[in-house]
A and B are shown apart, each in its own frame.
Chain A
Amino acid sequence: AQTVTQSQPEMSVQEAETVTLSCTYDTSENNYYLFWYKQPPSRQMILVIRQEAYKQQNATENRFSVNFQKAAKSFSLKISDSQLGDTAMYFCAFMKSWLDGSGAGSYQLTFGKGTKLSVIP
């Protein structure tokens, strides 16, 4: 079974500064995907960024980027130029895909417990 660990329950950052959220995971799989989701106070789960394990290049999406270290099983999220709207819970998630006997895939997610990020004006 996979486990995902987010060691920072809460963090804060000044508006316009940069912050990095940590995530580590444990798996014996070689092919998988990693994700960061954002959950603002509205409760909606929003996909922020995705990283394929077979890609060495780190994923970026506008102000969001990741530092993926496969050997260390580390997947951190960097938010640049933090904005008040970035205030939210952030969840790291792992996806393994496999085929069961029927040939169907699963693509289920295993989540970390989350990091609550507060952006301070």
Chain B
Amino acid sequence: DAGITQSPRHKVTETGTPVTLRCHQTENHRYMYWYRQDPGHGLRLIHYSYGVKDTDKGEVSDGYSVSRSKTEDFLLTLESATSSQTSVYFCAISESRGSGYEQYFGPGTRLTVT
């Protein structure tokens, strides 16, 4: 358990509304990530952060923005939700283990856009 929580765990929203998902970690990890999981696609990286106020885009960043104003919180915002953003969203952290890094995941948030 890497001390990662996500909120909310489930959300249903309407097309066109803004949505913010929160990832919270308690162990002062520098690197944090947002992935989405869709059937037939595995997990795909949306955005990541390598420090407070330091973020960068991943493979599927269109329609998403992120913010990290403090080490423990990494927020993912859908400015205007679309049905194609219905997915399961995972937050993750990278942690140094031995000679390399490993990623650990939060429990996920299931988002449905109607």
Contact = CB atoms under 8 A, between A and B. Distances in A.
Contacts of A35: 102-103
B21 to A, nearest CB: 15
A102 B54 contact: yes
A107 B90 contact: no
A75 interface: no
B43 A50 contact: no
Contacts of B88: 43
B74 interface: no
A111 to B, nearest CB: 4
Interface in A72-119: 91, 95, 97, 100, 102, 104-114
Nearest to B49: A104
A115 B94 CA distance: 24
B107 A109 contact: no
A91 B31 CA distance: 21
B99 interface: yes
5 contacts: A33-B100, A35-B103, A95-B100, A104-B51, A111-B44
The DSSP consensus for interface residues of chain B is: strand
Contact of B43 (A44, A107, A109): A109
A15 interface: no
Given A45-B108, A108-B45, 4 more contacts: A44-B108, A104-B51, A107-B94, A112-B42
Contacts of A113: 40-42
Contacts of A111: 42-44
A4 B102 CA distance: 17
Interface in B52-104: 54, 56, 58, 88, 90, 92, 94, 97, 99-104
A52 B50 CA distance: 22
Contact of A108 (B33, B41, B100): B33
> 5 closest Cβ contacts across the A-B interface?
A45-B105, A111-B42, A104-B50, A107-B94, A107-B101
